[in-house]
Structure 1
Amino acid sequence: MLSNLQPQAPDKILMLIEEFKADTRQGKIDLGVGVYKDPEGVTPVMRAVKAAEQRIWETQTTKAYTGLAGEPEYRSAMAKMVLAEVPADRLASVATVGGTGAIRQALELARMAHPGLTVHVSDPTWPNHLSIMKFMGLPYVEYRYFDVATRGVDFEAMKQDIARAKKGDIVLLHGCCHNPTGANLTLDQWREVIDILQTTGAVPLIDLAYQGFGDGLDADAEATRLVAQSLPEVLIAASCSKNFGIYRERTGILIALAETTQARDLAQGAMAYLNRQNYSFPPDHGARIVQTILTDDALRADWAAELEEVRNTMLGLRDQLAAELRQLSGSDRFDFIAHHRGMFSRLGATPEQVQQLKSEAAIYMVGDSRLNIAGLNQHTVPVLARAIIDAGI
């Protein structure tokens, strides 16, 4: 049986990681893998996470299963963090295996509710979005999003494309810190997107993987909150990997907002059923950490303060890189880097130029020229800037 399996295409980012590890050159720079790194190149465990784990270790008396939907206190705390005002009569939720699991469960739920749907997804988007949909056999179409010339959002083209979505279709949107481009919609543009969704009857699925990494915890959720307040049905997939730094704990949540209490109850039952089919009970340790932090004033304050340090570090690196490139190029054509938000920016380089950066300067980034800003520090920024200019980008 197993000999009948077909070889699977390797993940390009994972291949890049292995290639970077095998490179023996001194001073090599990894801008590919999507994790936050401090100036020493370490992905740290946050202070509040350490404190929460200590408290859990001291007080936890059992490792018995939690509920199919996850711990209610965790789901409540996460819904409040994402939405601020929680519409209890409309809201269903389940703990998931990371943000990726939340995306998968959201698409499964949408297909159960409307088997003939099409998913509308930005061009470009996080590659795993497309991989999951292809594996599920879900039909999807890409809507124009990134303007290669300006490295900003091609909003007029985006509006034209998402207006083609039909009632019951899914429009997949990045809540903040767009991956892989770093280019975000303004709040006024979000309002126009909402108008289009109200007209078409399509349902937004918001991927909120980087809340707190862009303009701040509340600012990064502002668009998602506006969508939730404006539309009858909304799906939100949120991740704790980045903002709590618990990547390996695989902690996420799927939130569904329904139009009626009856529809909310149906959604809650279907989501718990999907958890049961896919992994039975969701993992609890990471969720317990998040719950402990969000429900304790002192821990939450310390976590929020450290998250601000992380965010401001990335903003500082963006400003430094844009300034270095402005000086070296004698132009403002790289100022978009300072305007982008989150971990990533897309340079707009060709695959050949990306290869040149790797072969000549030992600088690794994804082939579409997505670079992880958090992979830099103040000493490597000038090295990258010079290499970008030398590669003719």
Structure 2
Amino acid sequence: MLSNLKPQDPDKILALMGEFKADTRQGKIDLGVGVYKDATGHTPIMRAVKAAEKRLQENETSKSYTVLVGEPAYRDAMAKMILGDLYAPERIATLATVGGTGALRQGFELARMASPDMRVFYSNPTWPNHTSILKWMGVETVPYRYFDDATRGVDFEGMKADLAQAKKGDVILLHGCCHNPTGANLTVAQWNEVADIVERTGATPMIDLAYQGFGDGLEEDAEGTRIIVKRIPEVLIAASCSKNFGIYRERSGILLALTSDPAARDLAQGAMAFLNRQTYSFPPDHGARIVTTILTDDALRADWKAELEEVRGGMLRLRANLASELRTLSGSNRFDFIEEHRGMFSRLGATPEQVKKIKDEFAIYLVGDSRLNIAGLNDESVPILARAIIDAGV
């Protein structure tokens, strides 16, 4: 039977990771994989996470099953962090998931249960796993214009025109902040215009909030999501704890379903429990308890937020330094978009040939679409990358 399986195309980013590891050149630089790294190239464990884990180790008395939809304390703490003053338990169904990817998959499944013929509108470009999951599920997808290759900013007029084609029963997939792979974000005014379009079409927005706290701040990065929640009666939100808590391998995520009334909330909550049961039964709990411990303890929460700000500030500084180097080397301001982008990523707008040249001649690894991970840089590698970008003719 298994010999009938067909070979699968390898994940391009994972393949790039393997190529980087096999490269024997000294001084090679990995700007491909989407993981936060400090100046030494290490992904550290945050101070508050260490403290929370120690407390759990000392106080936890059982490893028995938890709740099918995840512990209520975790789901409440995450919902409050994401929604702020808009947190309203009577309107919210919540589900603990296997990372942010699990939240996306369960969110797509939930939407399809409610609207079997749905189409999902996604930004062009988007995180490749969005479309990969939807293709595997057999869901029809519709790209909407997002990134302007000329300005390296948002093609907002194109985005609005494409989103206007959605209809009731469709899902509009939005990046809550720190757009992956481009780093180009919507402004507050643009988020309100998107809400206008969603209202007119009757489509359901689904927000992928993977990087809250990595862009303009923990509260600021949730502002677009909150605008949508305040304006639209039904909203899906898939969030991850991998980046802002640095617990990538603990696979902690959450799906929120904002509903129009308590009866709809109960239906959504029941459907969520069903989906977890069919997929993996009980969700992972260790990472969720770490997050809960941090978010419900004033001292740990304050220390976590302080370290998160250090991480965010470090990425902004690297952006500014890279833009400055490129301004000097190019004699122009055409790379200033790097400083304006937010989050871990920027898309250079380089051709595949230029990306290959940067890899072959400078041992610098970018994703093929010229996405670079700002967090993979440090003070020493910034001028090296800048020179490679210019010499490659970007």
Q: Could you state the TM-score of these two structures normalised by the residue count of structure 2?
A: 0.99
Give me the whole-angstrom Cα distance separating, in 1, the residues matched to 2:34 and 2:258: 29
Q: Which amino acid aligns with 1:28?
A: K
Aligned AA (1:117) = M
Write the distance in 2 (CA, Å) between the matches of 1:252 and 1:226: 22
Q: Distance in 2 between matches of 1:258 and 1:18?
A: 43
Aligned to 1:362: 363
Q: How does 1:1-393 map to 2 (within 5 A)?
A: 1-85=1-85, 86-393=87-394
Q: Which segments of structure 1 move beyond 4 Å, counting only runs of 4 or more?
A: none
Aligned partner letter, 1:350: T
Aligned residues: 393
Query: Shift in Å at residue 87 of structure 1?
Result: 1.3
Deviation at 1:92, TM superposition (A): 0.4
Bigger Cα displacement from structure 2, 86-95 vs 340-349? 86-95
Offset, 1:70:
0.2
AA at the equivalent of 2:52: A
What SS does the aligned partner of 1:84 have?
helix
1:168 Cα offset (Å) = 1.3
Superposed CA deviations along residues 239-289 of structure 1, whole A, max 9, x for unmatched, are 000000000000000000001110000000000110110000000000000
**1:207 partner SS:** strand
In the TM superposition, what whole-angstrom CA distance separates every residue of 1:12-60 from its partner, at most 9, and x where no partner exists? 1111111101111111100000000000110000000000000000000
Rounded to whole Å, the distance in 1 between the matches of 2:206 and 2:326 is: 36
The amino acid that maps onto 2:102 is G
Amino acid of the residue matched to residue 376 of structure 1? L
Distance across 1 between alignment mates of 2:359 and 2:300: 41
What is the identity, as a one-letter code, of the residue corresponding to 2:252?
T
Deviation at 1:320, TM superposition (A): 0.1
Aligned-pair distance for 1:88? Answer: 1.3
1:226, distance to aligned residue in structure 2 (A): 1.1
Give the secondary structure class of the aligned counterpart of 2:90. Answer: coil
Q: Distance in 2 between matches of 1:88 and 1:387?
A: 52
Root mean square deviation of aligned Cα = 0.4
Task: Provide the rounded CA distance (Å) in 2 between the counterparts of 1:304 and 1:228.
Answer: 24
> How far 1:311 moved relative to its partner?
0.2
**Identical aligned pairs, as a percentage?**
74
Matches of 1:188 and 1:312, distance apart in 2: 24
Q: Deviations over 1:131-169 (max 9, x none)?
A: 000000000010000000000000000000000001010
Aligned-pair distance for 1:89?
Answer: 1.4
Q: How far apart, in 2, do the equivalents of 1:95 and 1:263 lie?
A: 19
Residue 245 of structure 2 aligns to a residue whose secondary structure is: coil
TM-score normalised over the length of structure 1: 1.00
Aligned-residue offset at 1:217: 0.2
Segments of structure 2 that go 5 or more residues without pairing to the other structure are none
